[in-house]
Structure 1
């Protein structure tokens, strides 16, 4: 299952990550913790914390993957073949680990408004690319940053060919049915208090799939069993949303 194009890092990079994790949250090394396995690179051992506040066991010490990247990889390789092979893909706000995973696909393109080195420098709510150009669009933890997320969802729908799919992850508050947004919340401190991050503009609820469906998508979710969530170090409150554009 590990991806052959994802390199294992050297020992000095691993040491730097360990030191950085210790400086960020030393308590993670004092608590009893299970070794985990990365399905992307095959590393087996203790994972390290990332984020503020700290999420223990979130980051693979070898390839640097986080929970959402491992979930995407598990879906992608679930039946033993690469579901994304030969697909024309547009990836918004591309992460380095996913770019490495996709580098064998010449049809893989990237897009962002601020990030350097992408294929297309664009606003996700207004993408100057043709209708139906892509088989797959991807956006991991992007939509919670976008003030008009419905406009972004409509653009993702437009960019897909009939039968194409959007692969999406977002933070979800599983204790709430409805998404919470508040236009009066504008400062970083207010956003931390309301949305758990200084640059988020909403906290999605269990209605995220309904919001996608309102833009025309047919939505299914993908997650692993509780035992697999432990094995692969996945978030128990995160799903991969597979939003398909109906066939014409």
Structure 2
């Protein structure tokens, strides 16, 4: 209901926030401001009024647009727990054979457990799995499943909440109370804060990893205009 309501209200939202200070690369529209967003302390100019995208979504879109042939070549794509705006746009793209999957979401193509994906080995050219693994107790098993269903020569983007200052991931499975989880891990349904060893976990599952600070490719002016965060990593993975 909330998804349908947000789509219905978009034209009104756009007229209210229309301006020139910020640009959302996903819909190409400009706004006088982005909205604050965040659990606890909110980040200013984080949420785009039109697409409801955050900094990480806009960074990913710009990477796909500028650094890949995602929008032009024929690919078979698996998208775990798809972001609303990406789902809407990717399903319309004629060059993609696109499958969305999630355990609970009512808007996906396939109901699937990331720990036991119902897909054949090496089925997909591209796999997206963003802000999912921090919810999964056995994240190593989930990474192995993502590796299994990716074709050789394939690639993907696996974003997670990270603290770049942490060398080692912080997790404590004795913490189960939602309030305590929010206090320790930043959100009530997270089970860890990933540190820089996140990439070692991906490598253990078999992936090659590009630790990509993609937002740093942009000038300060463009980062501000697109509402990007300078130090957010875009984890791009490859299966050789």
Q: TM-score, normalised by structure 2?
A: 0.85
Conservation of the 8 A alpha-carbon contact between 2:78 and 2:100: yes
Q: 2:122 aligns with which of 132, 145, 153?
A: 132
Equivalenced residues, count:
224
Question: Residues 40-79 of structure 1 correspond to what in structure 2 (within 5 A)?
Answer: 40-45=26-31, 46-53=33-40, 54-79=42-67
Deviations 1:25-53 (A, max 9, x none): xxxxxxxxx93221111222310012322
Give me the whole-angstrom Cα distance separating, in 2, the residues matched to 1:140 and 1:50. 18
CA 1:126–1:14 in 2, change beyond 3 Å: closer, same or farther? farther
Matched, 1:241 2:231: no
For 2:169, the equivalent position in structure 1 comes to 179
Where in structure 2 are there 5+ consecutive unaligned residues? 1-6
Give me the whole-angstrom Cα distance separating, in 2, the residues matched to 1:212 and 1:156. 10
Give me the whole-angstrom Cα distance separating, in 2, the residues matched to 1:208 and 1:75. 21
Deviations 1:130-173 (A, max 9, x none): 00000011111111011110000000000001011121111101
Structure with a larger share of its residues in helix: 2
- 1:107 match: secondary structure: strand
For 1:89, the equivalent position in structure 2 comes to 77
- 2:10 match: secondary structure: coil
Conservation of the 8 A alpha-carbon contact between 2:13 and 2:50: no
Q: Which moved more, 1:219-228 or 1:122-131?
A: 219-228
Q: Which moved more, 1:69-78 or 1:221-230?
A: 221-230
Conservation of the 8 A alpha-carbon contact between 1:156 and 1:166: no
- 2:113 match: secondary structure: coil
Q: TM-score, normalised by structure 1?
A: 0.83
CA 1:197–1:80 in 2, change beyond 3 Å: closer, same or farther? closer
Give me the whole-angstrom Cα distance separating, in 1, the residues matched to 2:157 and 2:49. 25
Structure 1 moving runs of 4+ over 3 Å: 12-15, 79-85
CA 1:9–1:163 in 2, change beyond 3 Å: closer, same or farther? same
Pairwise CA RMSD of aligned residues?
Answer: 2.4
Q: 1:37 aligns with which of 10, 13, 23?
A: 23
